[in-house]
Structure 1
């Protein structure tokens, strides 16, 4: 897994979304991060960070966002998601006439 800076993570995420249009799907996870890789003691940190991960096949990227940068990052992250959510399939709606036709048969 590659740990990137926030801006480079967003640009790489855009590239991953472009690759996923031909095949595959992107999995994005977000979780609280206390700055430790392994738990040693039960001490609570004074400030939590946020860990973002994105996976497409064997390509894995991640970034750590501090609380002071969260608003700026979240706005940029939302723009990346909005720009790349065009490949979603629409859910087929069932109309009243099709329900009635099935009921009559």
Structure 2
């Protein structure tokens, strides 16, 4: 498997790239979106080391969207989370209109089976 480089963008640029990514993958393909907690470090902390500078005020989220060929990401701080969430949810509602409904199995058949 070939490693795809991650492009770190601002939140508005990330949403516009995600808007372009959805129609590109509509006919055939998938878009994977990952959400992770991010503390701003680029390296991991040693297990024996202490956690310094991790205050609730500086919590951040890392969002990564990929179609397997292109990978875009953004870091959203807790201060701008509400604004980003509103724009992100409206984008998802607009672009995920072609989803198929799952077939629900009839539960009454299982309950009516003679014992």
Scaled by the length of structure 1, the TM-score of the pair is 0.84
- Structure 1 residues 24-39: aligned runs within 5 Å: 24-39=29-44
Which residue is 1:43 aligned to? 52
Q: Which ranges of 4 or more aligned residues in structure 1 deviate by more than 3 Å?
A: 93-96
The root-mean-square deviation of aligned C-alpha atoms, in Å, is: 2.0
2:96 corresponds to 1:85: yes
Structure 1: which 5+ runs fail to align? none
Aligned length: 100
CA distance, structure 2, for counterparts of residue 93 and residue 35 of structure 1: 43
Question: Which of 13, 17, 28 pairs up with 1:8?
Answer: 13
Scaled by the length of structure 2, the TM-score of the pair is 0.77
Which residue is 1:61 aligned to? 72
Which structure has more helix as a fraction of its residues?
1
Q: Which digits, 9 at most, give the CA deviation of each residue in 1:33-81, with x for residues without a partner?
A: 0000112442241221110000102110000011111000000000010
